[in-house]
Amino acid sequence: MGVHFGVSTFFVFCLLVLSANAREFRITARPGSDITGELSKLFKEACACVDRSTVLIPKGEFRLGEIEMMGPCKAPIVIVLQGTVRADGNVNGKDYWIAFRRITNFRLNGGGIFDGEGNASWRANNCHKTSLTQCKRLPISIRFDYITDGKVRDITSLDAKNFHINVIGAKNLTFEDVRIIAPDESPNTDGIHVGRSDGIKIINTNIKTGDDCISVGDGMKNLLVEGVSCGPGHGISIGSLGLYGHEEDVTGIRVVNCTLRNTDNGVRIKTWPSAACSTTASGISFENIMLHNVSNPILIDQEYCPWNRCNKNKPSTIKLVDIKFKNIRGTSGNKDAVKLLCSKAFPCKNVEIGDIDIKYTGKDGPATFQCCNISPKLVGKQCPKACSSPLTKAPGH
């Protein structure tokens, strides 16, 4: 007589088989050691496995130099960081500290800390003094390049020299319960920058940094930002767009149920005048956003030109279409509660403003709502009154 397995019994049996085939590769260096060479070796061995594998960095503090972990791998791979890895002070090497590249079925978790040791390097950031093509580029802390079907969960990025996390060319990649920390005066330390990717989720993540908490570059499709706490920082930004030629369209961006505290901007879209390309950003929604002392809470700025490095006399050629700002409420840190400054060459189209309630109690109040080259569709309540205020200069960073 054959043995009969029920569905649940068979499922448990399969899990046991998968677990038995999984392999673990563990860092054996003593705390305080440089693990760059050992980690590189272990990753290559794990990547070559035909079964699911885990690379474990145990509790303790370790030094880690520039490292690239490159796929494709033969089976799913998990990186577990339980301890802390610290970068060195090198600012003259590659454009990254840690790079995960071309990996499918990838996981990174473990509760550990990536410490970029950026404090000493921020003084080398001269991008606010010179052109973007000439300024000194500091290394990005963690790059995720061309990752497919991945999840990054329960890690901390601390004091990045440049961007904390950069994503390009990814498909179906989720960030959840990630913590990003840097001082509010740290330059160019964007929390998570995403571009030219499809199906990215950033969920239940806490970001405190010196630049955009989340920034969205060209070519981004189908991004969900949900349950994110941002501040200090420069808010949640689409763009800037239009600085470079051959940029790609942005579409399907949803920012929902997020909280911003003491940020220099709230939710914004920014494009360069005299843009080097003509692309479209469409299907963008900001919904259920709580504000606590947020300057420039709602902003479309198609005259974005920090440090006057462009020709403002040439209007932006980036088209903004199908944009929604809904159920955004709280307090503003300045009187410019809502500022919608669209391009004279290509006015914003199909912009919906619904249930806005932003208060400002400063001496130069009341709060203002400014519009230029836009006729928004109004739904529900708008406080301050929509498009009722004279135009003033847009913020420059």
Residue 1 — very low, low, confident or very high, per pLDDT cuts 50/70/90?
very low
Give the percent of the chain with pLDDT over 90.
82
Confidence at residue 373, expressed as pLDDT on a 0 to 100 scale: 97
Q: What is the CA radius of gyration of the chain?
A: 23
Tens digits of per-residue pLDDT, 178-196? 999 999 999 999 999 999 9
* Residue 234 annotated as catalytic: yes
Confidence at residue 50, expressed as pLDDT on a 0 to 100 scale: 97
* Neighbouring residues of 370: CB distance < 8 A, sequence distance ≥ 6: 336, 338, 339, 340, 341, 387, 389, 390, 391, 392
The CATH number of 72-125+137-383 is: 2.160.20.10
Residue 154 — very low, low, confident or very high, per pLDDT cuts 50/70/90?
very high
From residue 176, give the alpha-carbon distance in Å to each of 83, 97, 201, 204, 207.
19, 21, 8, 6, 12
Mean pLDDT score across all residues of the chain: 91
- Choose, from 234, 246, 292, 397, the residue flagged as catalytic: 234
- Which of the residue ranges 7-21, 99-113, 233-247, 361-375 would you say has the lowest mean pLDDT? 7-21
The domain spans of the chain are 72-125+137-383
Residue 128 — very low, low, confident or very high, per pLDDT cuts 50/70/90?
low
Confidence at residue 16, expressed as pLDDT on a 0 to 100 scale: 37
Looking at residues 267-277, what average pLDDT do you find? 92
From residue 87, give the alpha-carbon distance in Å to each of 27, 72, 91.
17, 26, 10
CB 304 within 8 A of CB 311: no
Tens digits of per-residue pLDDT, 53-97? 999 999 999 999 999 999 999 999 999 999 999 998 777 778 999
Q: Which element (helix H / strand E) includes 341?
A: strand 336-341
CB 341 within 8 A of CB 350: no
Confidence at residue 2, expressed as pLDDT on a 0 to 100 scale: 44
Give the percent of the chain with pLDDT over 70.
91
Confidence at residue 283, expressed as pLDDT on a 0 to 100 scale: 98
Looking at residues 160-172, what average pLDDT do you find? 98
Confidence at residue 137, expressed as pLDDT on a 0 to 100 scale: 81
CB 186 within 8 A of CB 159: yes
Confidence at residue 397, expressed as pLDDT on a 0 to 100 scale: 57
Beta bridge partners of 156: 113, 179
Residue 130 — very low, low, confident or very high, per pLDDT cuts 50/70/90?
low
Confidence at residue 127, expressed as pLDDT on a 0 to 100 scale: 66
| One-letter amino acid of 159 | D
Does pLDDT of 274 surpass 70? yes
Does pLDDT of 143 surpass 80? yes
Long-range contacts (CB closer than 8 Å, 24 or more residues apart) made by 14-18: 18/52
C-beta neighbour count of 26 within 10 angstroms: 12
Confidence at residue 134, expressed as pLDDT on a 0 to 100 scale: 65
Buried/exposed code over 45-64 (b: 16+ C-beta within 10 A; e: otherwise): ebbebeebbbbbbbebebbb
- Which of the residue ranges 14-23, 202-211, 350-359, 370-379 would you say has the lowest mean pLDDT? 14-23
